[in-house]
Amino acid sequence: MSEAEKLYEGKAKIIYPTAEPEVLLTYFKDDATAFNAQKRGTIAGKGAINCTISSKIFQRLEREGIPTHFIDQPEPNQMRVRRVTIVPVEVVVRNIAAGSLCKQTGLPPGKELKPPLVEFFYKNDALGDPLLTIERLLVMELATKEQVEQLRDMALRINELLKGIFHECGITLVDFKLEFGIDSDGKLLLADEISPDTCRLWDEAEADPQKRVMDKDRFRLDLGQVEAAYERVLERILGGNIVT
Ligand code: TMP
Ligand code: ASP
């Protein structure tokens, strides 16, 4: 795969075309960024780990009736996916208060959110991915009212499934970010990735608020043992046989 062939390069992934027009190849990088790329680094082995975790989760979600862009994983750090046009909205679901929610509202970290909170962010690096209201989202014509309802319903359904999958692995799903795309038939598919880069994951067996963190917060907050945490999530997912 040459530089010239690249279709798109993001902070954590590169997308290449394939011989089939409706199929793209996603290459997962070891590069890590946080706080809108103000903090940069590398997490050794992350590409293959995130690609494998995402692949297993997408396969399980497909089995549970969620349409995703996943086709297969030809190499540990490569995923073949259906070509979609990404909806420029990041859908965040929160089961426990953390991160930007606490920073912006003063809610105490760790507060359980029942029912789960669904938030929409504008996927736009230049603007720093701002939080959207539904009204803004509609004015900006990022999605229709019906699509917003569909995104919310799918995100909540995915949350219930993911909470169960991670619980099977001894992990608490605190929050996560989803991206969706529309394929050439106009169908809404779950896209991007689901990994320790895009979820907050806490070890159920660990009460210590720093030790329990198994996700990118270890990198964001300089908690150390970043690679080891990603590897532990992979081991749990593989050991949990979530796709059998
Ligand atoms: P936040 O608390 O920083 O808004 O993050 C909420 C969730 O979304 C958390 O699980 C991390 C994930 N996330 C991404 O996947 N990409 C991003 O760019 C950001 C800001 C958060
Ligand atoms: N990956 C995001 C960025 O660098 C932020 C994050 O995940 O915290 O913009």
Could you report the per-residue pLDDT of 106-165, keeping only the tens digit for each?
A: 999 999 999 999 999 999 999 999 999 999 999 999 999 999 999 999 999 999 999 999
* 62 and 105 belong to one structural domain: no
Give the separation between CA 101 and CA 212, rounded to whole angstroms.
20
| Atom number, ligand 2, closest to the C-alpha of residue 38 | 4
Could you tell me if residue 99 is inside a domain? yes
Residue type, 171: I
Is pLDDT at 2 greater than 80 in this prediction?
no
What lies within 8 Å, CB to CB, of 232 at 6+ separation is: 203, 214
| Atom number, ligand 2, closest to the C-alpha of residue 125 | 9
Domain that holds residue 14: 8-82
* 105 and 218 belong to one structural domain: yes
Could you tell me if residue 75 is inside a domain? yes
pLDDT band at 202 (very low <50, low <70, confident <90, very high): very high
How much is the average pLDDT of 26-50? Answer: 97
Could you tell me if residue 236 is inside a domain? no
Residue type, 75: E
The per-residue pLDDT for 205 is: 98
The per-residue pLDDT for 64 is: 97
Say if CB 211 and CB 122 are below 8 A apart: no
- The Å distance, Cα 129 to ligand 1 centre, comes to 10
In this structure, what token pair is assigned to residue 22? Answer: 């409706």
CATH number, domain containing residue 53: 3.30.200.20
What is the tally of structural domains in the chain?
Answer: 2
How much is the average pLDDT of 193-219? Answer: 98
Could you tell me if residue 3 is inside a domain? no
* 95 and 173 belong to one structural domain: yes
Q: Nearest ligand to the C-alpha of residue 120?
A: 1
pLDDT band at 1 (very low <50, low <70, confident <90, very high): low
pLDDT band at 244 (very low <50, low <70, confident <90, very high): confident
The per-residue pLDDT for 9 is: 96
- The Å distance, Cα 20 to ligand 1 centre, comes to 32
Say if ligand 2 is within 6 A of residue 36 CB: yes
- The Å distance, Cα 4 to ligand 1 centre, comes to 31
**Which among 29, 49, 82 is the end of a domain?**
82
